[in-house]
Chains A and B, each alone.
Chain A
Amino acid sequence: MDVTIHFKEIDHKLFGFVEGEIDTFTASGLRDELEAVKITEGLEIELDLSKVNYMDSTGLGIFVAFYKRALRENGKVKLVGLSNRLQRLFEITGLSDLMDIETDKKVELR
């Protein structure tokens, strides 16, 4: 199982759709793709994780690194569509207080 990311730019806002399993083995590809994103001042980036069905701490590291870079370059990162499981991961690690995170409402309703 691999992980992919597709980008779409709508009204100067960048949307990234992540899909697959993020672990030690698949992580480097995703890291490269996120590192290639050019962050300009004030750019809003929304990463949709609703199709991520597994993520370990290495995956977490990639998003934190991306978040920190965005912070330095005055961009904005928001993570959306987190499953309960991912939500818990971000809560335990204290990252949910730091980063802009939105849970997947569809998952919660189920």
Chain B
Amino acid sequence: MVNQTERNLYIAQNFTRQLIQKNISPEDVISIHKNAVEQIFPNQMNELQPAYDFLIEVMVHYGMAHREHQSLLQKQAEYEMEMKIATNIQKTLLKTYVPNMKNIDIGMISVPIRKMNGDYVHFFHDGEEYLSVAVTDVVGKGVPAALCMSMVKYGLETLVYAYKDPSYVLEVINRVIEKGVDDSMFVSMFYGCLNVEQNIFSYASAGHEPALHYSAKNDQFFTLEAKGLLLGVLSETNYTFHEIVLEENDLIIMMTDGVTEFRVKEELNSREVITTLIKENRHLSAQQLCQLLYKEIERVQNFKLFDDFTVVILKK
């Protein structure tokens, strides 16, 4: 005990590592230590004995906490495994199929902030004539949001027969959600339908972030304002739809609030960031624009996003 060197202490540290690996509890470690001291200094043991026994008593409880901790860690690993499986199921279940169309260029990006995505995009198309898109955002994140989203998806899928009518789609989905979930759960949705041959884009919104229309002819952005209550708040809600004409090289940009809400830099106008970027790069493909927008907003927010991020761009 007198000539304790750093070398000895280092050896002790390595030994400790082995003890931890073998799950030796703290009370056993003290007991080993006590026995060693007893062998080396048998004469001093009379005085030291009670001190060591006291320490062993105390450490028994630490040992209990340590083992519980180990067991909780294992439990956590099991949960993570389940979560991983659930995430994979969700990915398959809520996979968006982006249609490939001749006369309209479609781009999409959707990045979840956590493991499960609370945003969802659904496309309908009927040959080359019509293209509909629903951009949705569930309040909340993670598992509850994902479960609610599955409901929205299946609701949308049953509406194939009516996909050209934005108001009707929102009204039906609203009733589905209102019945199915609790009071604090709801969904925002922007729904648009493009008549490809006549170049008419009709849209309606249920409490969703307004979409943007870039008019190439005017080199200007227009906000597609459409008032409507969030889905799932009141069972009987009506939604009105609006129409615009789409011209050559025009763009429609639909997004969720993860794109427009800057939590850190409140002073920045997100709409301005988006419109400037798109204007400067409007020659790019719809998909490239989506990717670029994601990169730019990630950068503006110091690479720390606070919400699921989804953008859909249609380019004529």
Contacts and interface: CB of A to CB of B under 8 A. Distances in A.
Contacts of A62: 184
Nearest to B188: A93
A93 B140 contact: no
Contact of A95 (B141, B182, B233, B307): B233
A58 interface: yes
Interface string B123-144: 0000000000000010111000
Interface in A34-89: 54, 56-58, 60-62, 64-65, 68-69, 85
B257 A68 contact: no
A98 B238 CA distance: 13
Nearest to B206: A94
Given A31-B184, A57-B140, A98 B263 contact: no
A109 interface: no
Interface residues of B, number: 27
Interface of B: 137, 139-141, 182-186, 188, 206-210, 227-230, 233-234, 257, 261, 263, 266, 306-307
Interface of A: 23-24, 31, 54, 56-58, 60-62, 64-65, 68-69, 85, 92-95, 97-98
30 contacts: A23-B306, A24-B140, A24-B141, A31-B184, A56-B306, A57-B137, A57-B140, A57-B188, A58-B141, A60-B139, A61-B184, A61-B186, A62-B184, A64-B183, A64-B184, A64-B186, A64-B230, A65-B182, A65-B183, A69-B183, A85-B266, A92-B210, A93-B188, A93-B230, A94-B207, A94-B228, A94-B229, A95-B229, A98-B233, A98-B234
